[in-house]
Structure 1
Amino acid sequence: MKKTQAILLQALLSSTLAASTCLAVAQQGPAAPVITIYTAGSMSGALGAITRQYTRETGQPIQLVSGPAGALLDRIEHSAKADIFVSANMAHPQRLTAEGKAAPTVVFARNRVCVAARPDVGVTTGNLLDKLLDPNIKIGTSTPKSDPGGDYAWELFAKAGALRPGATQTLEAKAQQLVGGAVAPQVPAGQNPVKYFMATRRVDVFIGYCSSHEPTPDTTLTQVELPPELAISADYGMTVLDSQRNAATRDAVYRLALYLMSPAAQSVLTRYGFTAVAPQ
């Protein structure tokens, strides 16, 4: 764990269980309060597995609310009830920390940006930029500002422009913002949006994350790593929201937050394509 991460985590610890120095997970009673986690949609699969594991071990009920992290931040700032916030970037939870609405923000996990494509498109790491700039290739992205995934796509476009003059403007003009926005195209219930837009030929490639919602990667699409000159990493931030809680609820929230940083929880992240930050 990097020094800055260790300092942030220490600050989180010191601001939490003031009356308790035990970091072990305690069993919850039958009347344990429900803990609500607001989480970036890309983390919902892994975090769902972790919290189900925690509930089995402790009996602690947990509610996950997932969606675009920017939209979740807006809800929290407008008084939505959340105990823990996990974002696909550091900026959103750090904003809550700076506003005095949350504890120090820590790096919860790391991710990378990848490009998903139908196999027939023939995208590889070596030809990725050529394919993205091909006028016949349709590009899908998340929505910038509302969803960090969209912000990372625009960061990729900026890097492309540094390599090839005019590429940034070309890619921004081609990109279809299909998920994560306030208004998004309809997707049939139960279907994965990216797979649906690929299958219906609305897009040929989609710029997203290397992680997955399932521990078994989807082999129906090709996932391509970005070349080194275009590579983008994504740090996921976590913070505990300040709210009017009794002592028992406060301790329960912080016990869960500490568990999320434990090797037992972090080992689950790797099965979903994330990079853990806690020692394994």
Structure 2
Amino acid sequence: MKSTLTLLAAGSLRRAFIPLQAKFTQQTGIAVDMVFGPAGLLRERIENGAACSVFASANRQHPQALSDAGRAHGLQPFARNQLILTVKNTPETAAKDWLALLSDNSLRLGTSTPLCDPSGDYTWQLFDSLDVDYPGLGASLKQRAIPLVGGRHSLSVPPGEIASRWLIQQDLTDLFIGYAHYASALDGDRSIRNITIPQPWNIRCEYYLAMLDESDAARQFCQFILADEGQRCLRGAGFLAVSDED
């Protein structure tokens, strides 16, 4: 009888893990039930007793908390990401660079939700980074930021939609800070524009795996993610491998 795993994974991993899981199951015969969501809220579900064989988080903090509590083991990084700006493409925004856009108080700024979703935590780190070289900007951005997704009572983004584009097209925000791996999927949409946040201000977003059971199936799945085929799926979805240079 073949095993079935339960994977709880950060929502940003959906585009990488759906094909990754299909290849893993095809090769091993091991089925994987996948649940996606904000990693902080997934951690709470695990703490409250939700079934989970493998936890794939968009940061180290949440699996580390489970490990510290004796609930998880085998923490290891498996992918990296960065942040980008996505802005409504208008004559007013077309000529502005990343800093001018962030400094424009007339633009509504959407983010994910800190504490619940690592994307929000990374965004707040970005604000702190900016404040060092542009005093007052980070504090102003924290005041302006509207956490629209990734929270306990956030808007529900329709299946298949990317939050940044959907929120802008629904006229819920003018500018959104999100993960850079979505850029390739957003390319070609002339209603929006993606702008790179340059170094040294951009944030290194690190993704971590943790096992919550001792099964061979869970171990095989983690090994598959870290091996060449799993890493190709992640790169194909726009992620950086742990070994990649920024």
Q: Is the 8 A contact 2:86 2:165 kept in 1?
A: no
Out of 213, 227, 235, which is 2:206 matched to?
A: 235
CA distance in 1, matches of 2:195, 2:40: 26
How high is the TM-score relative to the length of structure 2? 0.90
Matched length: 240
CA change 1:191–1:267 in 2 (3 A) is: closer
Mapped to 1, the partners of 2:229 and 2:150 lie a distance apart of 30
Describe the SS at the equivalent of 1:276.
Answer: coil
Q: Counterpart in 1 of 2:239?
A: 274
Residue of structure 1 equivalent to 2:128: 158
Stretches (4+) displaced over 6 A: none
Distance 1:69 1:123, change over 3 A: farther
1:64 maps to 2:38: no
The aligned counterpart of 1:13 is none
Amino acid at match of 1:81: A
* Deviation, structure 1 residue 277: 3.0
Unaligned runs of 5+ in 2: none
Q: CA offsets, 1:101-136, max 9 Å, x none?
A: 111210010111111122222276xx2122112111
The one of 191, 194, 200 equivalent to 1:223 is: 194
Instruction: Compute the displacement of 1:187 (Å).
Output: 4.6
Partner of 1:100: 70
Decide whether the 8 Å contact of 2:149 with 2:156 is kept in 1: no
Structure 1 CA distance for aligned equivalents of residues 64 and 222 of structure 2: 16
The answer to whether the 8 Å contact 2:119/2:178 transfers is yes
Instruction: Tell me how far 1:142 sits from its aligned partner.
Output: 0.2
Q: Which amino acid aligns with 1:231?
A: N
Larger radius of gyration: 1
Q: Aligned in 2, Cα 1:252/1:233: closer, same or farther, shift over 3 Å?
A: same
Kept after mapping to 2: 8 A contact 1:123/1:131: no
Residue 83 of structure 1 aligns with which residue?
53
Q: Are the equivalent residues in 1 in contact too, given 2:39–2:57 (CA < 8 A)? A: yes
CA contact (8 A) 1:117 1:123 kept: no
What is residue 218 of structure 2 aligned with on the other side? 253
Aligned partners of 2:160 and 2:20: how far apart in 1?
Answer: 22
Cα distance in 2 for partners of 1:131, 1:255 equals 45
- Classify the secondary structure of the residue corresponding to 1:222: strand
TM-score between the two structures when normalised by the length of structure 1 = 0.80
SS at match of 1:184: coil
- Is the contact between residue 89 and residue 234 of structure 1 (CA under 8 Å) also seen in structure 2? yes
Which residue is equivalent to 1:41?
11
RMSD across aligned C-alpha pairs, in angstroms?
2.0
Equivalent AA in structure 2 for residue 94 of structure 1: Q
1:142 is matched with: 112
- Amino acid in the other structure paired with 1:151: D
